[in-house]
Structure 1
Amino acid sequence: MEAIEARHSVRSYTEKPLDGAAVETLRAAIDAVSEEANLNIQLVLNEPRAFSGFKARLVNFTGVRNYLALIGPECKELDGILGYYGERLVLLAQSLGLNSCWVGGTYKVVNRAYNVDLGERLAAVVALGYGATQGAPRKSKAPQEVAAGHSDAPDWFKRGVDAALLAPTALNQQKFSFALAGETEAGAPLVRATTRRGPFTQMDLGIAQCHFEIGAGDALFAWAD
C-alpha cells in the first residue's frame, strides 16, 4: 500500500543509471511472474530509441532510457494479464526507489531491443528510471461510482476499491467497476470485476485488480468469472 500511495506517473527522467541491486531484483521478479503466467516480459536498459519519436515528445516524455516490454502469447485475455502482472512489477520498482509510467501507444517499436516470438504480442511498455520529479496525484472518481452497494460492503471490499482507484488507467478513464457477487461453494465471497469499452480498458482492469487485491489485504475472496 505504501508503494500504491507513493507512486504517480512520471514522464521526465534523469540520466542516472538504474541501481545494480534494483536491476537484479527486478529481473528476478520478472522471471518469476513470466514463469507463473506464461509471459515474456523483458527489462530493456540504456535504450532511448523507443521514446525518441514524435508521439513520445508530444506527450512530454524526456530522458527515458529504461523500460519494461510487456509481451505475452496472443489471446483475448492478454491485456488484462499483462496489466495485472505488469503492475506488480511497477509497484516493486516503486519500492526500489524507481519512478514509472505506463505507456500504451506513444512509443516506437524497437525490434532488436527485445524479443517478440512467433504468436506473441508486445502490448505496452512501462518507462522506468529516476524521475526529474515524483509526479503528482490525479483526479479520481468516488468509490460509489465504481462499486455498486459500496456503503453496505464489508471493510475489506471498501479498502480494495480505494486501492483500485489509485491505479493508473489510460487517459485516467477509470472505467472499471467492482461488485460483490455471492459466494463460492466453500463460502468465500466472490468479487466481479468488469470494465466498459475504451482504449486499453482491459489492461486497466488488470492493473486495478492488482491494486484491489493489495487493498483487500488478507481477505479470502475469489474473482467471479
Structure 2
Amino acid sequence: MQEAIIKRVSRRTYKDVYIDKEKKDQIQKWIKEINKKSGLAIIYVEDGSKAFQSFSKTYGMFNNVRSIILLKGKKDDENLKEKVGYYGEELILNITDINLGTCWVGGTFDEKNINKIDNDEKLECIITVGVVENRKSFKEKLIGSLTHIKRKPINKRFESKETPPSWFMEGMKAVELAPSALNSQKTIFTYENGDVKAKIENNYRFDMIDLGIAKKHFEIEADGKFDFGNGGKFHKNNKY
C-alpha cells in the first residue's frame, strides 16, 4: 500500500515556522496541475492564520496554523464537493510524502477572515499544512481520543453477492484508512459481475466530499479511475 496512505494522520499542532521555499513551490506546482485537470480554483495561502485565531470558531483545536489551502471552485460545478474531496486528498497524500502535516477542516475556522473567494466561487473546505513534530502533541492525542470512532470493518464497507477479486480488497484496505467527516465512514462500495461502484447516503454537508476522498484511496490501490457522481463506476486500468 502507498506509504502516504498509511502515514497520513490529522495534525492540528504546528511548529511556529513557515514552510521552506522548496516545499512551498512544490505544493503550488501540485495545486496548479490539479486546477488545470479538475477545473477547481484551489489556492495556497502562506499566512492564513487569521482564520484560526478566534477560539469561538476553532474551539482551541489548532495551534500555530500559518499556511492553509483553500479548496474552492465554481458554484455551478455539479461535482464540486466530490472534486474537492478527491483532489484535496490527492494533495494531502502528496504533501504527506514531503513530510509535512495536514488536516481537513470543514467548519472550525473563521471564514470572515478569508477574502480570496470570487463571487462565482464557493469555498468547501480548508487544508491546514505545516511543519510538525514527529510525534503528536498531548493536545492532539487528547482531541484524537475524544473524536475517535472505531473503524468499521471492511466487510461493512462494501456489498457483494460474490467473492470480490484481490485487487478490489486491496482497494478496500485503502478505503479503510480514508478520513471522513465525524469519522462517519459512510461510503459504500459495491461489486457485482466485475463492476465496481461507490455511493453514499448524501444527507450531510460533507458526504460528497467524503465520497471523493474514499474514491481516491480506492483508485490508488485498485489501479483505475472512477466516474464522478454518487454511484460512479470504477474503470480498472488493465480492462480499459
**Residues 173-192 of structure 1: pairs in structure 2 closer than 5 A:** 173-182=184-193, 189-192=194-197
Compute the displacement of 1:164 (Å): 1.0
Which one-letter code corresponds to 1:119 in the other structure? D
Name the residue aligned to 1:63.
Answer: 64
Q: Shift of the alpha carbon at 1:5?
A: 0.2
State how far apart, in whole Å, the 1-side matches of 2:160 and 2:45 are: 43
Q: Do structure 1's residue 167 and structure 2's residue 183 form an aligned pair?
A: no
**Structure 2 counterpart of 1:2:** 3
Q: Which of 195, 213, 216 does residue 219 from structure 2 map onto?
A: 213
Partner amino acid, structure 2, of 1:160: G
Query: Using a 3 Å threshold, how does the CA distance of structure 1 residues 171 and 150 change in structure 2: closer, same or farther?
Result: farther
- TM-score scaled by length of structure 2: 0.83
Residues in 1 aligned to 2:41 and 2:7: alpha-carbon distance in whole angstroms: 28
Task: Give per-residue Cα distances to partners, 1:180-210, cap 9 Å, x unaligned.
Answer: 244xxxxxx4321111122411101101101
Shift of 1:19: 2.0
C-alpha contact 1:144 1:150 (8 A) present in aligned 2: no
1:80 counterpart residue number: 82
Quote the Cα distance in structure 1 between the aligned partners of 2:225 and 2:12: 37
Determine if contact 2:73/2:121 at 8 Å carries over to the other structure: yes
Equivalent position of 1:104 in the other structure: 106
- Give the RMSD, CA atoms, in angstroms: 2.2
**Contact 2:51-2:114 at 8 Å conserved across structures:** no
1:193 paired with 2:204, answer no
Secondary structure at the aligned position of 2:127 is classed as: strand
Query: In the alignment, what sits opposite 1:157?
Result: 168
Unaligned stretches of 5+ in structure 1? 183-188
Contact kept, 8 Å, 2:226 with 2:233, in 1: the verdict is no
The runs of at least 4 consecutive aligned structure 1 residues that moved more than 4 Å come to: 134-138, 219-223
Q: TM-score, normalised by structure 1?
A: 0.88
Aligned equivalent of 2:13: 12
Residue 157 of structure 2 contacts residue 189 of structure 2 at CA under 8 Å; is this kept in 1? yes
CA contact (8 A) 1:143 1:150 kept: no
